[in-house]
Structure 1
Amino acid sequence: MKKFMLLLIVLVSASMLGACSWFQEADQSLKYADQAKEHIQTLSDFAEQAPQMIQDAATDPETKKQLENRLNELKKDIEQFNLINAPTIAKDIHAQLVEKNKILLQEINQAVDNGHLALDRLQNSPILATISDITGLINRIENLGL
């Protein structure tokens, strides 16, 4: 009887540890999905506002400075997001986001030289198209929360 009780305790403990691990992985996946959606929303917000800001920046130095600041903030956000340690279930999607983010960083770096915006380079850059590619991954990220 003692052996049976000991075996039962071991089995229950093992199953509880497995369940805790599953819940922990699910929690990490949800947190990652929230971080990724927030990152994509930041990019999306910029993409919505950028065309008007670019147009206004051609004649308004203050708008140009604001646009320059937004791009520099965007760079920092992208770099921080790329450092996130994604949970196992999100490794593939995170790798894709990081790859696209690196392309976006290169494009921003071409438009912002030594912290100063080169408006003509920004106007001719594919930044908005790259952001559109990134926002296309939102459905896969939302499915991580299921």
Structure 2
Amino acid sequence: MLREQIQSETVTAMKAKEKERTAALRLIGAKIKDRDIELRTSDKKPGDNELVTDVLMKMAKQRRESIEMYEAGGRQELADKEKAELAVIEEFLPKQMSEDETRAAIAQIKADTGAEGMKDMGKVMAELKARHGATLDMSRASGLVKESLS
């Protein structure tokens, strides 16, 4: 369903002659196709929406990192281009959890698994990804998990 939504938005953007949006949507489509090709030989294939969401999460993470680097390097025009692409990508992602919601989820998982110290970080991160993977920025969550376990 998400794949079809992206394809229809691409057509709409093309008809409206929105060059930047069309380019971003085509880039998303290309990344999804690349992932499809990678998974052709795989035994375990995720569901379609799960696959598309995973691709979008990775693309969003890449854009955020690029924006930081471009702004640090004084290349604001490139940072603005990445921000525009990120805005298009985020339209198709589920709403991300706030910091407070993330902390509450971590506390719940710590209680459920009995995690106490840094040695349990992997267990907490795995459970966090299993329960909230699509609605959570795992790199930010990692820092919060470290903070709560130390």
Structure ID, larger Rg: 1
Q: Determine which structure has greater relative contact order: mean sequence separation of CA pairs < 8 Å that are 6+ residues apart, divided by chain length.
A: 1
TM-score by length of 2: 0.30
Greater share of residues in helix: 1
TM-score by length of 1: 0.31
